[in-house]
Structure 1
């Protein structure tokens, strides 16, 4: 599910960001509907994908535990229920975005006016900064994935598997999935550190007066950090390609290179 949400996020969120920042076409200010959906869909897709990755880390930890009770939590039925609940949770939690977001005209009477797509509630702006961005996007995923990633690694080191099971196809796939999950966990943690620093800085300087040069510096840094943050949503293919031999063989076969 995380890969599906990553794909939609890259097509909607990242491409729209590149069009706005790179080519100067601010499409959200041309349509109220797109303005309301931009923040809402981007954050729903991103936070849902991030939640799925955290849940996958917990699932791998449970599946590698020695105790039977812990391994029972790693099952398909529970995974499906959590997938549905995750989407519903973020759809409801982020519902204020389309309700509060609109197109506004800014600028003094004697100056050139411009349109912006933003939300007008100061209270929700602070809630979004501290809860959505800093807590849900950065601190919680870093803590959860670091903790359960370390526990999974320890479980693998202490795991005793009979020789005939080590050679089984199912066990090899299980080991490959665990390695892929650990690599994705590392990527998420590394790519989440700069946004965490940025959000903490924005929170500490929210009441500070800033000149145009400082605002330009912050905007440049914010754009670089945002693009860097998107790397965690575009690396699943490379993780599978590097660590999974069967995945590489399937890709070669599907692409026709095996026939050459």
Structure 2
């Protein structure tokens, strides 16, 4: 009976990987590419520090989806685990996973802090972030996370699991295992970015409600409101997709015995489901922006189709010699 149950759970896990993981991968790649196109095509975004953080985050999300989610789909859905046969890939995958995840969440934190500062009533705080400082912060944190991941290249290796007697890509150093569980997974991936984004997102929301009292150009005011709403909804979304996965990993590491437990496949299924939900963090930003912001939808339409709509106008201009007033989004 246990074998039958395990077979069913294994099949469910595979179906989750194939029919949920692959759509998330495709939608995530398309969405992040569209994000980059929109943000880089409009001068309004290119000169904005918050938008710059979102651009860098989109590049990192693509890297995370290609290096981590693709291999996860092959491992779980098709039983093709490259980390078991290649020491290099075992180390490389986990290293890239850490660097991309931490840098992406850092950019999200910086974007939330940026929106709190620029919507503040204090003019000094509004000047703390600019595009040059955004460049510097991204470079500094990227270097930090590159160095932070070096132990992964040392202590991740394919070994025979005591629980399953199968070869798994895991940590071979006990001290680093403890840090990876509580330092990286619980704090750096879970608690710290959630705490930062929730706190500063709440403060930014309070500032936006008072933004009409600020004496700023209406274009800047609308841009601040747009970016703040986009970031705030993403903060709420991230909370619900990150917390379940981190919680399951912590419970698994803290309570799972060294021998093979009777409910092992239930645990594997829980990790698979929450893990693929976690990848929505990297796949969904574009769709959040598209649903939340009417202005973003207009900007997307302008970037993708505006050039084709301008051709008849340009022909009319050449005949009437009248220049229209064009305002970039």
Same fold (TM over 0.5): yes
8 A Cα contact 1:57 1:148, kept in partner: yes
Partner deviation per Cα, 1:195-236 (whole Å, 9 max, x = no partner):
232233134315x35544322211111111111111111111
Matched, 1:95 2:181: no
Separation in structure 1 between the aligned mates of residue 110 and residue 244 of structure 2, nearest angstrom? 23
Instruction: Show CA shifts across 1:6-37 (max 9, x none).
Output: 11111111111011001100012232221110
| Structure-2 separation of matches of 1:211 and 1:128 | 22
Q: Which residue of 2 aligns with 1:158?
A: 210
For 1:73 and 1:196, the matched residues in 2 are separated by 33
Q: 2:266 aligns with which of 204, 210, 217?
A: 217
Q: Deviations over 1:50-73 (max 9, x none)?
A: 111011101100111111221121
Q: Residues of 2 paired with 1:184 and 1:202: CA distance?
A: 27
Which of 48-57 and 238-247 deviates more? 238-247
SS of the residue 1:213 aligns to? coil
- Note closer, same or farther for the CA distance 1:170–1:140 as it changes in structure 2 (3 Å cut): same
State the Cα distance separating 1:252 from its structure 2 match.
Answer: 3.8
Q: TM-score, normalised by structure 1?
A: 0.88
- Equivalent position to 1:85, from 126, 135, 140: 140
Counterpart check, 1:247 vs 2:296 = yes
Q: Which residue does 1:50 correspond to in 2?
A: 105
Rounded Cα–Cα distance in structure 1 between residues aligned with 2:214 and 2:120: 15
SS of equivalent to 1:104: strand
Contact 1:61 1:155 in 2 (8 A): yes
Distance in 2, matches of 1:5 and 1:181, equals 17
Q: Which has the higher contact order (CA 8 A, sep 6+)?
A: 2
Corresponding residue to 1:192 among 242, 247, 250: 242
- Which stretches in structure 1 are left out of the alignment for 5+ residues? none
Give distance in 2, aligned partners of 1:84 and 1:13.
Answer: 22
* Residue matched to 1:236: 285
Mapped to 2, the partners of 1:196 and 1:117 lie a distance apart of 19
CA separation of 1:215 and 1:103: change in aligned 2, threshold 3 A: same
Residue matched to 1:131: 183
Does structure 2 conserve the Cα–Cα contact (< 8 Å) formed by 1:14 and 1:230?
A: yes
The residue aligned with 2:89 is 34
Deviation at 1:240, TM superposition (A): 2.1
Q: Determine the C-alpha separation between the residues in 1 that align with 2:68 and 2:145.
A: 16
Give the Cα separation in 2 of the matches to 1:103 and 1:19: 17
Matching of residue 176 in structure 1 with residue 231 in structure 2: no
Give unmatched runs, 5+ long, in structure 2: 1-55, 310-329
Residue-by-residue CA offset, 1:77-122 (whole Å, 9 max, x unaligned): 22111101111111111110011122234579xxx96432222111
Alpha-carbon spacing, 1:128–1:32, altered in 2? closer, same or farther (3 Å) = same
User: Based on CA coordinates, which of the two structures has the bigger radius of gyration?
Assistant: 2
Backbone CA RMSD of aligned residues: 2.5
Alpha-carbon distance in structure 2 between the residues aligned to 1:162 and 1:91: 40
TM-score when scaled to structure 2? 0.71
SS state of the match for residue 212, structure 2?
coil
